[in-house]
Chain A
Amino acid sequence: MNPSADTKLLVIIPAYNEEESLARVVAGVQAAVPRADVVVINDGSRDRTPLIAEHSGATVVSLPYNLGIGAAMQTGFMLARARDYQVVVQVDGDGQHDPREIPVLVERLLAGQADVVVGSRYLENRGYITPWLRMLGIRILAGYLSVVSGQRFSDTTSGFRASNRHALESCAQNYPADYPEPESLLAFRKMGLRVVEVAVSMNKRYGGKSSITPFRSAYYMIKVILAVTILLLRRAPRRAESPYVN
Chain B
Amino acid sequence: MLTDRLTLFVSVAAFGLLLLVLEMVRRRALAEKYSLLWLLMAGAILMLAVARPALDRIAPVLGIYYAPSALFVVGFVGLLVILLYFSAVITRLTRQNRIVAQQIGILQVRIEALEKSLVQSRDEE
Contacts and interface: CB of A to CB of B under 8 A. Distances in A.
A62 B95 CA distance: 18
Contacts of A61: 105-106, 108-109
B6 to A, nearest CB: 41
Contacts of B99: 246
Interface string A54-82: 00000111111101000100110011001
Interface of B: 95, 98-99, 101-102, 104-106, 108-109
Main secondary structure of the interface of B (DSSP, over half): helix
B98 A64 contact: no
B105 A63 contact: yes
A131 B17 CA distance: 56
Contacts of B101: 63-65, 67, 71
Nearest to A70: B98
Contact size range, A: 10 to 19
Contacts of A71: 98, 101-102
Contacts of B109: 59-61, 79
16 contacts: A41-B105, A61-B105, A61-B108, A63-B102, A63-B105, A64-B101, A64-B105, A67-B98, A67-B102, A71-B98, A71-B101, A74-B102, A75-B106, A78-B106, A177-B98, A246-B99
A82 B104 CA distance: 14
Contacts of B108: 61-62
Contacts of A64: 101, 104-105
Interface string A76-111: 001100100000000000000000000000000000
Contacts of A65: 101
A61 B102 CA distance: 9
A75 B105 contact: yes
Contacts of B95: 246
A79 B104 CA distance: 12
A62 B108 CA distance: 8
